[in-house]
Copies of this chain bind each other. A is one copy, B any other.
Amino acid sequence: MSLAIKAQHIANSHLNLKLITPTNKTDFTNTKFRPKPIYRSNPLIYSHKTMQTTTSHSVQNLSIKSSLIEPDGGSLVDLVVTESQRGLKTREAESMPKVGLTKIDLEWVHVISEGWASPLRGFMRENEYLQSLHFNCLKMKDGSIVNMSLPIVLAIDDETKERIGSSFNVGLVGPSGDIIGTLRSIEIYKHNKEERIARTWGSTAPGLPYVEEAITPAGNWLIGGDLEVLEPIKYNDGLDHFRLSPKQLRKEFDRHQADAVFAFQLRNPVHNGHALLMNDTRSHLLEMGYKNPILLLHPLGGFTKADDVPLDVRMEQHNKVLEDGILDPETTIVAIFPSPMHYAGPTEVQWHAKARINAGANFYIVGRDPAGMGHPTEKRDLYDPDHGKKVLSMAPGLEKLNILPFRVAAYDTVDKKMAFFDPSRAKDFLFISGTKMRTYARNGENPPDGFMCTGGWEVLVKYYEGLQTEETTQQPAAISP
């Protein structure tokens, strides 16, 4: 069975994903954030806001009024041109000077066009770039603040800049040569790579994966402007139906009559410690008075570093976790977050959280060292593992989001299962890092019983076996990253 077919199979199995029909008439235009019930005593809950008391959470089954959190800026950005305009807009794009997009650029076009970065309507102009770089947020015309921690920018080289000349608009050409859309009322400004890297990563050490992939080889200019895409971005890798836009996700949450949505960002396989945390969070939300909390299991689908597990394998693994009942398929939505990964720790975790607000999540689970990695040249973590959740809890523009800090789960060698770490019997616990997990799978060894469901573990073992076969036969990798 090919991977594409497998992925299709995953989609058709137990995941709670149905196509969104245009007959869903729920009104999303006036969504409002529902006051949250009181929950002061539980140390799990971080929040900027003092939670408000509410005793009733009754959900009317027939005409549910959406209680989803408002997107940043008040309405979701959607930059896909309408069917009726497509012909005209395509001809216009064809007549403009062209800017070529890399694979990562295209991922950002996808992100912006669907409104994950709402209220951003295109690649950043200098004004937005500087605010993002210095303040991790943008000030709107009405004086309100939205979070915007990563510069979302498009680099061009000298030759392209010269070719654009004094044109106001440019056409965007995808990696395979097809016209993707346009950038209008453009502004071209300097791409000071050193400053961008230093302020985004807090390091300029050689070996930062996104920097090496997307910044060092990029041009010395940035081009900002208003984006339009001619058609929704598709990858034709058998996983597109998992790539639900924020609008589609909001419809799904509404269809599920969700009164709380808690998002779990991940770029790794789900082990039973993750599952424990997600299930525990759901229990807490129920205790808080929510009637129907829905989990958004939201693997990142864009660029990841070479030694991370590829997206299609992860999707298959996630499917097994749901098939095996480790997570409840009835209250879980699995979808792909199309953003590329920066590995920029406290700066990036804000982006991860902000984008999920736009998708309708009002609770966000933050792990130890989110979006972190080892320092590329020194023997230490690149970031203080606690800074991610601290910075997230203080970030301007994220006040409306409830931050749920990750409780540390580890393998309890007495109970033979993943459990929340109990410092009073620390010696009973075994910490299995991502590196350790990959080493087990790579060597065909089994992790301790109860670390991960069998089906999910088999997916990983098969993937690493395949990698080794490739390595021995010296073939280029057949599995796309």
> Interface on A for B, CB 8 Å cutoff?
126-127, 130-131, 133-137, 139, 145, 149, 190, 192, 194-195, 198-199, 201-205, 346-347, 383-384, 387, 390-391, 394-396
Which of A145, A149, A394 gathers most chain B CB within 10 Å? A394
CB contacts (< 8 Å) of A133 on chain B: these are 202
Contact B136 A134 (CB under 8 A): yes
Contact A396 B396 (CB under 8 A): yes
Contact B198 A134 (CB under 8 A): no
CB contacts (< 8 Å) of A127 on chain B: these are 390, 394
CB contacts (< 8 Å) of A203 on chain B: these are 194-195, 198, 204
Contact A195 B190 (CB under 8 A): no
Contact B194 A126 (CB under 8 A): no
Additional 15 contacts, C-beta under 8 A, given A126-B390, A127-B390: A130-B387, A134-B149, A134-B346, A135-B135, A135-B136, A145-B396, A190-B384, A192-B202, A194-B202, A198-B198, A198-B199, A198-B202, A198-B204, A199-B199, A203-B204
Closest to A399 in B: B143
Contact B202 A384 (CB under 8 A): no
Closest Cβ–Cβ distance, residue A353 to chain B (whole Å): 14
Contact B199 A202 (CB under 8 A): yes
Q: How far is the CA of A139 from the CA of B145 in the complex (A)?
A: 13
A-B pairs with beta carbons under 8 Å apart, 13 shown: A126-B390, A127-B390, A127-B394, A134-B136, A134-B347, A134-B394, A134-B395, A135-B396, A139-B396, A195-B203, A198-B201, A198-B202, A204-B204
Q: How far is the CA of A347 from the CA of B135 in the complex (A)?
A: 10
Which of A135, A139, A205 gathers most chain B CB within 10 Å? A135
Closest to A205 in B: B194
CB contacts (< 8 Å) of A394 on chain B: these are 127, 130-131, 134-135, 139
CB contacts (< 8 Å) of A384 on chain B: these are 190, 192
CB contacts (< 8 Å) of A199 on chain B: these are 198-199, 202
Q: Which 10 A-B pairs have the closest CB atoms?
A: A195-B202, A198-B198, A198-B202, A204-B204, A199-B202, A134-B391, A131-B394, A198-B203, A135-B136, A130-B391
Q: How far is the CA of A252 from the CA of B39 in the complex (A)?
A: 52
Closest to A147 in B: B135
Contact A135 B395 (CB under 8 A): yes
Q: How far is the CA of A61 from the CA of B56 in the complex (A)?
A: 62
Q: How far is the CA of A212 from the CA of B387 in the complex (A)?
A: 26
Closest Cβ–Cβ distance, residue A196 to chain B (whole Å): 8
Which of A127, A130, A145 gathers most chain B CB within 10 Å? A130
